[in-house]
Structure 1
Amino acid sequence: MDKTQGVKLTPVAPSEVSKEWLADQGMTQALLYYWDHIEAYPYHAPSPREIEMEQLFEAYWFGETVAVHFYRLDHGWQVIWCTETGTEECLDERQFIQRMDDFGKTLCIRNYLEADEDGQFHVVYTRPLKLEANLGSSKGGE
């Protein structure tokens, strides 16, 4: 599909994404966006076959160097598999996740950058990198 600086994006059939496939790719974490709530899994994420897909509108399963992104279109699900090809032009960020039942989760995201003709860098793709559970603090402290 697309290969930008540092990342390769490949379409995948939704039926190919099983718990075994996710584990083989190193994807053990997930963010599931339902119509009425968000679920975050820093460990032992369920597979698409184990969740209510009809209530879901977007989801990410991810690991340190890979991610799979499900998103809903009018005609069904689109699934993109992201594999990292290098980190030389990346910017990582940490974002605190609010409104979770167990406060204290931090989402690390990776932005892949590309220079334009003037040498200005801009973000060409963003994906979840790591979901951290900050145990021991209900307010996200150190």
Structure 2
Amino acid sequence: MGIPSGRFSIYEGTEIISNGRLSFSYKTRGDGHYAPQWEHTKWLAIGQNESSAAHFVAVDGKDEGDGWSCRMRIVDGNYDGYWLDSSDGWLCAVGSSKQRWKFLGNGEHYEWWQGERPVVVRQSGPNNDGASGFRLRAEYGANPRTYTVRPL
């Protein structure tokens, strides 16, 4: 596929399934008195069936020997016009960023990297806010995962 020429979404794994899409929302845990609710967050998470997918565009894309790299601007939703960043490890929406992302592989399936850190999924979030769902993190020494990049 190479560098996407327009908007794209990213899914965890090699199949396009709704609970593998990436989203800027999560579901809070309900306790006995309160029902779970959807919350918007600046941190990128693995979405659930009811969440809407995050959409991106590649900016300053560059072909690399074993894939491609770019900066990622968020389009659509609450963070339209923001950029994807992982300065503290957790992937999040920020006002501006020069951070480059690498996608190693071919076709639609890639390992996703930020510098020397593969992007992985972690069950807890950056502020341990009690969210149910999984947050994305660029983490040194982690085993790379496979993601599907799907043009819209």
Question: TM-score, normalized by length of structure 2?
Answer: 0.30
Q: Flag the structure with larger Rg.
A: 1
Report 1 or 2 for greater relative contact order, CA contacts < 8 Å, sequence distance ≥ 6: 2
